[in-house]
Amino acid sequence: MNTKLHAVADAQGRPISLFVTAGPVSDYSGAAALLRSFPKAEWMLADRGYDADWFRDALKDKGISACIPGRKTRKKTVRYDKRRYKRRNRIEIMFGRLKDWRRVATRYDRCPIVFLSAIALAATVLFWL
């Protein structure tokens, strides 16, 4: 069973909100689920999987500037701050640290709820204690 972990992190790379979807599901569903839990922020850094006009409009409505590169198949290119986008490595480091926990990396739990609780426990211990 494949899963994708979607996370909202703060500027230091600490997870604030977590959401698990099935593996073949688009990143848009994770973005839509986490949209309400976004904190007040100036910028949103995300990868190409989150590039959608509706998502950019929703961020603009919340007063958040999007730093998301456009998909390669996009007809009109989207401008983004490349220097700011390089800070997205903090999120990748966060996912790497979560996978240091063997239970999270190998996905022992078959039930998505139990898997998400294991991720939440790992995130609490690693980043908040």
Output the six-digit token pair for 123. 């995130």
To the nearest 10°, report the CA torsion of 10, 54, 4, 88. -40
- pLDDT-derived band at 1 (thresholds 50, 70, 90) equals low
For the chain, how are helix, strand and coil distributed in percent, rounded to 5?
Answer: 50, 15, 35
- pTM for this prediction: 0.84
Q: What is the pLDDT of residue 111?
A: 87
Q: How many domains does the chain contain in total?
A: 1
- Structural domain for 59, as ranges: 3-128
| Rounded (5°) CA angle 73-32-123 | 105
Residue 99 is part of a domain; what is its CATH number?
Answer: 3.30.420.10
Strand 3-9 versus strand 15-22 pairing type: antiparallel
Residues 56-115 have pLDDT tens digits of 999 999 999 999 999 888 888 889 999 999 999 999 999 999 999 998 888 888 888 999
pLDDT tens, residue by residue, 23-68: 888 888 888 899 888 888 999 999 988 999 999 999 999 999 999 9
CA 22 to CA 103: how far, in whole Å?
18
